[in-house]
Amino acid sequence: MPVADDRLRITYQLTCTPGEDPEAKARDIAFEQTVELPPAIVPPDIAARMVGRVDTLDPLGDSRWRAVISYDRVTVGIEVPQVVNLLFGNISMKAGILLTGISWQTTLLERLGGPAYGIDGVRGLCGIAERRPLVCTALKPVGLSAAELADLCFRFALGGIDIIKDDHNLGDQESARFRERVVRCQDAVARANAQTGSTSVYFPNLANGSPAVTEQVEFARAAGCRGVMVSPLIVGLDTMRWIARSTGLAVLAHPSMSGVFFQPDHGILPEILYGEIFRVAGADGVIYTNAGGRFDFSQATCDAINANLRKPLGALRPGFPVPGGGVDAARAPHWVERYGVDTILLIGGSLYAQGDLTRASRRLVDTIRRVCDA
């Protein structure tokens, strides 16, 4: 929940080892994440203003406690890297600290900005006026040439897939260099669109840091791409934010490397990392590993991610949940009903498994239309 006042409030679930004092643990977080000095040597005026303040501490039973700590806006800063550092920088190296909630300040949300397109904007980008989930697929596997990937892209677009993105394993490998791939895949989508009259889009994967990523962005935009995919935990959350705020491209966030945050008693809840932090940092859509696929998120976690991406959060646009990671095309009706129309279904393997990509894609999109019309 955004709050109008000056402080960022963070909720942690603390798990105490035998003999560990929850009050001391909460106070330790408040110091570690701000002044990073022993209490005795912090100048009093700084201690009063800068050290995090333990607002509440409540027992949850089973050696667990809920602590709410609030931070002055100066310690929070106005940039993604320092916000992330405050959220889980040094305390990542402690134990038994799970970030379960953030009360964002309205001014910070305004400053960071969130999605440039959001759900309605991406829908418009893809020319989808109907109230139905969008369908996304991935170009793979790594090792195919740019021409082969573009051929897959063409066939998916012919079949009406809304967003065709690179697999996140595609960087700038010699088998399919970034520039050739972007030109060929964008051209393939345009040719298919010309043939069908639909408006599929191709989102290349950007796998570079600064400053090379700025050249890749420029290249993709010049080639006619309307969006890109990035793995923000690898390329940098602030780089994603820059793409969102400054380039006119839509952004899909890939969850690569995020799994290390999802420990039972330590880390950041998936619905907070994906549903709030990624969204605040500019993701128009956040890919996550859906329940029942190759990974092990619970249904409740997926529902919570979806809810956070779409909920009111200051003036931020909502982001699209993009469940993937082994979603079966045959189960699409189930997911449409469960997740609703403001969803992008990411389906890869089970389209490839059907051989005829165009027919498989068309069948999937038709099924989704039918479910939504019913």
Nearer to a second copy, 8 or 119 (CB): 8
| Beta carbon of residue 261, minimum distance to a second copy (angstroms, whole number) | 5
| Beta carbon of residue 89, minimum distance to a second copy (angstroms, whole number) | 4
Name the strand (E) or helix (H) holding 151.
helix 146-158
Please say whether the beta carbons of 360 and 329 come within 8 A. Answer: yes
Q: Count of CB atoms within 10 A of residue 331's CB?
A: 16
> What is the DSSP secondary-structure string of 39-93?
GGGS-HHHHHHHS-EEEEEEEEETTEEEEEEEE-HHHH-SSHHHHHHHHHSGGGG
One-letter amino acid identity for 300? Answer: A
Which range, of 4-12, 168-176, 182-190, 193-201, touches a second copy by CB under 8 A?
Answer: 168-176
Residue with tokens 């740019």: 146
**Is 256 among the residues that bind a second copy (CB under 8 A)?**
yes
| Beta carbon of residue 132, minimum distance to a second copy (angstroms, whole number) | 26
**Is 54 among the residues that bind a second copy (CB under 8 A)?**
no
Backbone angles phi, psi at 96, to 5 degrees: 70, 35
Q: Which of 34, 137, 186, 200 binds a second copy (CB under 8 A)?
A: 34
Nearer to a second copy, 313 or 346 (CB): 346
**Is 211 among the residues that bind a second copy (CB under 8 A)?**
yes
**Is 146 among the residues that bind a second copy (CB under 8 A)?**
no
**Is 219 among the residues that bind a second copy (CB under 8 A)?**
no
Which range, of 33-41, 55-63, 185-193, 336-344, touches a second copy by CB under 8 A?
Answer: 33-41
**Residues 83 to 142: which contact a second copy by CB under 8 A?**
84-86, 88-95, 138, 140-142
Name the strand (E) or helix (H) holding 186.
helix 178-196
Nearer to a second copy, 119 or 283 (CB): 283
Q: Which of 13, 289, 301, 358 binds a second copy (CB under 8 A)?
A: 289
Q: Which of 42, 128, 371, 372 binds a second copy (CB under 8 A)?
A: 42
Q: Which of 4, 41, 129, 374 binds a second copy (CB under 8 A)?
A: 41
User: Distances in Å between the alpha carbon of 348 and those of 25, 79, 111, 360?
Assistant: 45, 35, 36, 11
**Residues 55 to 74: which contact a second copy by CB under 8 A?**
72, 74
The mark string for 257-276 relative to a second copy (x by CB under 8 A, - otherwise) is xxxxxxx--xx---------
| Beta carbon of residue 374, minimum distance to a second copy (angstroms, whole number) | 31
User: How far is 343 from 244, CA to CA, in rounded Å?
Assistant: 19
User: Three-class SS of residue 231?
Assistant: coil
Q: What angle do CA 339, 137, 257 make, to 5 degrees?
A: 80
Q: Which of 231, 290, 358, 361 binds a second copy (CB under 8 A)?
A: 231
Q: Which residue from 348, 363, 339, 353 is spatially nearest to 137, judged by alpha carbons?
A: 348
Q: Which of 50, 54, 109, 372 binds a second copy (CB under 8 A)?
A: 50
β-pair type (163-166, 134-139): parallel
Backbone angles phi, psi at 288, to 5 degrees: -145, 165
Which range, of 58-66, 114-122, 290-298, 365-373, touches a second copy by CB under 8 A?
Answer: 290-298
Q: Which residue from 241, 227, 271 is spatially nearest to 125, judged by alpha carbons?
A: 227
| Beta carbon of residue 234, minimum distance to a second copy (angstroms, whole number) | 5
Nearer to a second copy, 52 or 318 (CB): 52
Count the site residues for a second copy by CB under 8 A.
87
Please say whether the beta carbons of 308 and 342 come within 8 A. Answer: no
The mark string for 310-339 relative to a second copy (x by CB under 8 A, - otherwise) is ---------------x--------------
User: How far is 37 from 235, CA to CA, in rounded Å?
Assistant: 31
| Beta carbon of residue 41, minimum distance to a second copy (angstroms, whole number) | 5
